[in-house]
Structure 1
């Protein structure tokens, strides 16, 4: 089964109606969400499909660069071709999310091809199913949205952002009660200083979160160590990292309880399943990031989580942009709070290329709003200490 052609399908996707951050501002997804799908055609007529993120416009260029190295190669040799692509990226420096996003898209498509050729669902090639359905959680910007999501079957709720996040998290917990998992994501903009992350984390401890996500920047290992030492909550992170080597210090130092590889930019099925094995050895669970991703990566992660023993939960934008359901035909089964992989071969999906072509990429960068200290949005700084300090937790006048 030889690779005959590799094609990119880049599109502008609409914004989800809400994210965890829209309680106090606007997510970058509101104006700059692109989806990149990649198809790999083999000489036997089969077509595999994958998805790549990590700056989709740039990833598309990287896919086109890598394609000539793969055409004519045996599509079944997923590990060899993964290594070939990784080596090809070396001349550009250390591999980041753009390089791994390209590898991710091609690798996922190759796994899809291989499973189709064998006539089995992809999860069968990953060891077979350990569970029949995968739980998912959704974002909520308000207590009312959280309660509506729970009533629709969501298995967990995530709130996010920095401004007034403690008040929102406590209000959401009061609305949904103790039997639904609650998560809180503190990533910027801007990133928190470690002392501020600790102060907010301590205010959130009574909520018994499933996890506290990205309390400090992924390049601030000192900050991660401080939060780990001072906050009694499970910690989650990893969505902005690209390689096993990037993840290694977080796992080796015990800084994560939940690892969150991005389903579109962490090197595809080949590398994410290796990460899952590393995590399993350390009793760390896996909850892939998929907040900005399209439906192909979601299907890939459902197959992966169906097979690995240490799956925790999958992130899902629900509701999402209405066009999401028109991107492809899929055997993915959706029921309240759960996703199940289709029973057809491979990923069991087919792109609707006409719909994708009708939504060409217009813009692929943007800035979120509402996270910086009052009056400082124009500074757009990467890290910012929170002020006034006395307002960092619940309102002192209305605790």
Structure 2
């Protein structure tokens, strides 16, 4: 079964998404997600100028060989742009494989390890009272795991508190440039423990809670936060420190028993290797789209399982429903699955472009047993929503120093 054509689509159906469609001489096609938030067109160029010409005529069934060809054959390995491109190709090939076999992808991976996928909701607010009110609603909706974020008093634009604003266009005014947010570590560290104390005092310990630091602390600051939060028994503290120096997580581990989650910016298993084999983290959060596809994510899950590290894939709104459904298949299969980030099923515009069937019930997601990934892509609808340049924000300390967003 030969690859005859590969198309790339860029649309802005609520957020910018890059979609790859692989067509074959047997009339079977597959789709993959190549979205890289704020650098979408760089991935498009990499695909169109360098990847696609090399794949025409290749056997679409040879998923592993094609992955190795795109990774090792480029010589310049790793990197967000190249791995997003590889991830889309790989996912589309798994979609094709499932359609030819007449099986959902999770069956090709080895079958189900659980009945459904446990997800965690995002709960936020401009004040602790608003967060607690929204948490009460999430619990009533059946969620068993919830991530809490709250605006830090005296700090505008705190990460994770944008509510229903799922893109950053409205923050950029008439100039499509990165919005800038202020940051104060001292204000943050003094405030966040009170958020979780109030949550536990109000709702007890029957609900699992998470929190995302978004890489804004130093290792010893993160250790201090983790230790302060220990009485509130978090499921995990996410992205406490940047990952470039993994020994920072050794410092954290030496000071706190609060579980650590990391990996949404990982591109390969090598990014996670040292952290996993030294058991510095408890959850690895690499996404199919940014981690090179389903092929390497299965290997990452198997490797992580040897060290009691569980999978908790990234699920931000800048990953398309194709990535979401790819995660559903991996999560159903992975014996060491932990929890899946979930931000809802999207806007009407998004669901017009991407058609998929998934049901949320009591904090768990069930999918239909459709062959392949289980997503249909509407090319005509995508054309209605052209690309808009947009960037994630940047952060600055109160004295103007650029900081991690």
Q: What band does the TM-score fall into relative to the shorter chain?
A: 0.7 to 0.9
1:57–1:364 Cα contact (<8 Å) kept: no
CA distance in 1, matches of 2:284, 2:81: 20
Q: How far did residue 321 of structure 1 move? A: 4.0
Give the match for residue 122 of structure 1.
Answer: 105
2:279–2:309 Cα contact (<8 Å) kept: no
226-235 or 160-169: bigger deviation: 160-169
| Aligned positions of 1:213-292 closer than 5 A | 213-291=238-316, 292=318
Give the match for residue 102 of structure 1.
Answer: 85
Post-superposition Cα deviations, 1:304-350, rounded to whole Å, max 9, x if no partner, equal 11111111111011374443332322233333411123211111221
2:321–2:375 Cα contact (<8 Å) kept: no
| TM-score, normalised relative to structure 1 | 0.84
**Partner SS, residue 74 of structure 2:** helix
CA distance in 2, matches of 1:279, 1:308: 11
CA distance in 2, matches of 1:215, 1:275: 21
Q: Please point out which of 55, 69, 73 is paired with 1:84.
A: 69
CA distance in 2, matches of 1:318, 1:43: 36
Give the match for residue 43 of structure 1.
Answer: 25
Q: How far did residue 295 of structure 1 move? A: 1.0
163-172 or 150-159: bigger deviation: 163-172
Aligned residues: 357
Query: What value does the CA root-mean-square deviation take over the aligned residues?
Result: 1.9
Query: Is 1:166 equivalent to 2:193 in the alignment?
Result: yes
CA distance in 1, matches of 2:305, 2:209: 23
1:89–1:95 Cα contact (<8 Å) kept: no
Gaps of at least 5 residues in structure 1 are 15-32, 384-399
1:63–1:106 Cα contact (<8 Å) kept: no
1:258–1:287 Cα contact (<8 Å) kept: yes
CA distance in 2, matches of 1:51, 1:87: 21
Query: Is 1:10 equivalent to 2:35 in the alignment?
Result: no
**Partner SS, residue 266 of structure 1:** coil
2:219–2:248 Cα contact (<8 Å) kept: yes
1:173–1:182 Cα contact (<8 Å) kept: no
| TM-score, normalised relative to structure 2 | 0.83
CA distance in 2, matches of 1:214, 1:79: 31
Q: How far did residue 222 of structure 1 move? A: 2.8
CA distance in 1, matches of 2:263, 2:82: 16
Q: How far did residue 87 of structure 1 move? A: 2.2
CA distance in 1, matches of 2:94, 2:299: 15
**Partner SS, residue 89 of structure 1:** coil
2:19–2:88 Cα contact (<8 Å) kept: yes
Gaps of at least 5 residues in structure 2 are 125-130, 150-158, 160-184
| Aligned positions of 1:1-399 closer than 5 A | 1-14=1-14, 33-54=15-36, 55-64=39-48, 65-90=50-75, 93-141=76-124, 142-160=131-149, 161=159, 163=188, 164-188=191-215, 191-291=216-316, 292-318=318-344, 320-368=346-394, 373=397, 375-376=398-399, 378-382=400-404
144-153 or 53-62: bigger deviation: 53-62
